[in-house]
Amino acid sequence: MRIDHAPRSGLAFADLSVQTWAMLVAAYRELNARRLFWVALALNVLVILVIAAVGIDEEGISVLGYDLQIPGITSKLFPPADFYKLMIENLGVGIWLAWLSTILALLSTSSMFPDLASGGVDTMLSKPIGRARLFLTTFACGLLFSTLQVLSFSLMAFLLLGIRAGAWEPGVFVAVPLVAALFSYLFCVQAVVGFITRSAVASVIVTLLFWILVFVIDLGESITLFQRTASRIEREMVQARMDTMKGDAGRESAQKLLTEADVRLERWALANDIALGIKTFLPKTSETAQLTRRALAISAGIGQPADGEQEMRVDENGILQRTRANRRRVEAEVRKELDKRTVTWVVGSSLAFEAVVLAVGLAYFRRRDY
């Protein structure tokens, strides 16, 4: 007796899960076969060993037991826990994770989408797999590569702090989601460019150029913010000095300086508003890395430099002379302004950019014939 089964209209959730997991495993095995995962892991170990090779005690700093004899830098100034947290913050996060490790991850995953577009897509689409799921699963696999690398570094940093300094600090694991997010901002650009051009080289070059553009805009915004803050403080200093002056000569000079300060403040404020407006729509790579460094700094109890004292010079005739605002005070005010930028603004706006880029890539993938 023959029984005809009606065709299934769709896959069950369990089938979708197994299918997606198989795609992740296949993509990971392809990356692993190129040995790049193990190269990145070895470099993680090397960075941790470099940090661990540096020691500090009451005599000073040593490297593999050899005293460097740096005056004043001892465990009395920097307790071992704070010293290693500083090393992890500046060397581990500031240089390795935020820059070198991210570049290595981009190089390692550069061929995923070109390979998908040029060869693997025909086989994959012959199976009951939606294009959106195929595209996003491939993207998730690239993120998995970076996330595992950051997780391994954070785990080794955690053990380093515990063994070398007796500080078991789980705060180092904050690097995992933040650095993975930083990588995803750039990887989404690389994925779309690689899929459209079918060239791994082109995707890497365009992504690095885009990263440079983002860095230049971020640098410009930082410079204009510094100058805006300096102009504001300088104006406040001139105004304060003017309020205590007596005599028309001194007040006339002060009023001239006040007018000049107003003009400078207006110009730098406009420039900073424009730079910040452009920056809002772009990924915040530098500030995302800084969020990790800030968390480690808070955990280590690293203090900020004290605000500088105001300086205004007056000549022998009592006429106010224009001076620059004290740099230390300006830097402190800039730090306060940057601290007001919330995680929601830094990460949220960057993820919004990423979502738009992925939507463009996905729309292109859906319209293309295979």
Task: Tell me the average pLDDT across 29-34.
Answer: 67
- Judge whether 208 lies within some domain: no
Q: Is residue 253 part of a domain?
A: yes
Give the mean model confidence (pLDDT) for residues 313-318.
42
C-alpha distances in Å from residue 254, one per residue of 54, 264, 269, 309, 319: 54, 15, 22, 20, 8
Q: Are 129 and 148 within one domain?
A: yes
Spatial contact of 285 and 185, defined as CB atoms under 8 Å apart: yes
Residue 61 makes CB contacts below 8 A (sequence gap 6+) with 54, 55, 67, 68, 70, 73, 74
Tokens 């772009």 found at:
282
Give mean pLDDT, residues 327-349.
Answer: 87
Same domain, 321 and 358: no
Same domain, 168 and 272: no
Instruction: Assess contact for 66 and 284: CB atoms under 8 A.
Output: no
Report the number of distinct structural domains present in the chain.
2
Residues 177 and 229 occupy one common structural domain = no
CA distance 207 to 239: 48
| Residues 357, 309 within the same domain | no
Q: Could you give the CA distance from residue 218 to residue 114 in angstroms, rounded to a whole number? A: 30
Q: 46-55, 171-180, 192-201, 354-363: which range is least confident on average?
A: 171-180
**Has residue 17 been placed in a domain?**
no
13 located within any domain:
no
pLDDT exceeds cutoff 60 at 124: no
Q: Do 189 and 326 fall within a single domain?
A: no
Residues 335 and 352 in one domain: no
Q: Which of 218, 209, 190 is nearest to 283 (CA)?
A: 218
- Same-domain check for residues 85 and 142: yes
Name the pTM for this structure.
Answer: 0.83
The average pLDDT across 348-367 equals 94
Which long-range contacts does 227-232 make (Cβ < 8 Å, 24+ apart)?
A: 227/264, 227/268, 227/271, 227/272, 228/265, 228/268, 228/269, 228/271, 228/272, 229/330, 229/333, 229/334, 229/337, 230/324, 230/325, 230/330, 231/261, 231/264, 231/265, 231/268, 231/269, 231/325, 232/265
Does residue 252 sit in the same domain as residue 177? no
Least confident window among 144-153, 163-172, 178-187: 163-172
- Same-domain pairing of 225 and 181: no
- Asked whether residue 313 falls in the same domain as residue 357, the answer is no
Band of residue 209 on the pLDDT scale cut at 50, 70, 90? very high
Check whether residue 187 and residue 232 sit in a common domain: no
14, two tokens: 């369990």
Nearest to 286 by CA among 198, 189, 167, 179: 179
- The angle formed by the CA atoms of residues 134, 283 and 36, to the nearest 5 degrees, is 55
Q: How confident is the model at residue 82 (pLDDT cuts 50, 70, 90)?
A: confident
Mean pLDDT, the chain, whole residue set: 81
Distance CA 186, CA 201 (A): 15
Which band of pLDDT confidence, cut at 50, 70 and 90, is reported for residue 80?
A: confident
- Residue 142 to residue 135: CA distance in whole angstroms: 11
Asked whether the predicted pLDDT for residue 349 surpasses 80, the reply is: yes
Q: Which domain holds residue 301?
A: 218-339
Q: What is the model's pLDDT at position 31?
A: 65
